[in-house]
Amino acid sequence: MSIKVIIAGFKGKMGQAAYNMVTEDPALELVGLLDPLTPEKEVAGVPVFNQKEDLSGVEADVWVDFTTPKVAYENTRFALEQGFAPVVGTTGFTSDEIKGLVEFSRQKELGGLIAPNFAVGAVLLMQFATQAAKYFPDVEIIELHHDQKKDAPSGTAIKTAELISKVRPQKHQGAMDEKELLKGARGAEMDGMRIHSVRLPGLVAHQEVIFGGQGEGLTLRHDSYDRKSFMTGVNLGIKEVVKKKELVYGLEYLL
């Protein structure tokens, strides 16, 4: 039996890639599309809705979300309320929101996935970075994205820093008397690490994690050149969440 899928944000860049992936996979059936402004009422026989509440009567298994940080939490909660297992790529969740959604998914006994990065290479980069941070506590993260991205730093950069924090001894980096001559020159600070966000046209999604040691350096880098790089992970997420009974934060928990 096919898995019935809704895509929220289907007119966006990631939503379009998800639309193509779902319609090309015979194991998946697209049953609803959500976009707040589109005048279309259907696309290739699939109904289009302008408000999430109108999807409450739709029979679906999974809610794929590539919308905007402003609505992602409400959308994910709504999906769980309706019995749709959420597969969420939208970034910008706070850790309290994620905790609350995990708890709510347990109450509803529904699987779900919030993944700041669906690219397998990016998940590996986070794992390699966590390994390296045990030996190299001096680390800076540079994330680079297209110039239409609404949130900074990226969800992937935050998750990378969170994972590194779990193994890295607490450390202040840089000179104790360091002074920023231009505000923001040293990037954002998280647990003593620095995160820098680059926004340029032509980029898709890229991240470097740079470690410095005594007389040596180590640079890890991942590049998503095409939004197709995220779709293997989204496809896997859809097929895994329907078997689970709680939401997880990170694709690595389903690999």
Known binding-site residue numbers: 9-14, 35, 89-91, 115-118, 146, 155-156
- Please answer whether residues 223 and 160 qualify as being in contact, where contact means their C-beta atoms are separated by less than 8 angstroms: no
- SS3 for 112-127, per residue? EEECCCCCHHHHHHHH
- Residue 53: Cβ within 10 Å count: 10
DSSP state of 60: -
Taking CB under 6 A as the rule, does residue 116 contact ligand NAP? yes
**How many of the chain's residues bind ligand NAP (CB under 6 A)?**
26
Q: What DSSP assignment string belongs to 168-220?
A: SPP---S-TT---SSTTTT-EEETTEEEEEEE-TT--EEEEEEEEETTEEEEE
Q: What residues between 202 and 231 interact with ligand NAP by CB under 6 A?
A: 205, 230
- Residue 78: Cβ within 10 Å count: 19
Taking CB under 6 A as the rule, does residue 91 contact ligand NAP? yes
Taking CB under 6 A as the rule, does residue 118 contact ligand NAP? yes
Q: What residues between 127 and 156 interact with ligand NAP by CB under 6 A?
A: 149
Which residue type is seen at 117? N
Which residue type is seen at 167? V
Least distance between ligand NAP and beta carbon 213 (Å): 30
Least distance between ligand NAP and beta carbon 168 (Å): 24
Query: Can you give the length of the chain in residues?
Result: 255
Least distance between ligand NAP and beta carbon 227 (Å): 7
Taking CB under 6 A as the rule, does residue 15 contact ligand NAP? yes
Map residue 56 onto helix, strand or coil.
coil
Of 1, 26, 37, 201, the one binding ligand NAP (CB under 6 A) is 37
Q: Which is nearer to ligand NAP, 83 or 121 (CB)?
A: 121
For residue 145, indicate whether it is catalytic: yes
**CA 99 to mean position of chain CA atoms:** 15
Of 34, 64, 164, 193, the one binding ligand NAP (CB under 6 A) is 34
Determine how β-strand 138-145 pairs with β-strand 205-213: antiparallel
Where in the sequence numbering do the catalytic residues fall? 145, 149
* Residues binding ligand NAP (CB under 6 A): 8-9, 11-15, 34-37, 66-69, 71, 89-91, 115-118, 149, 205, 230
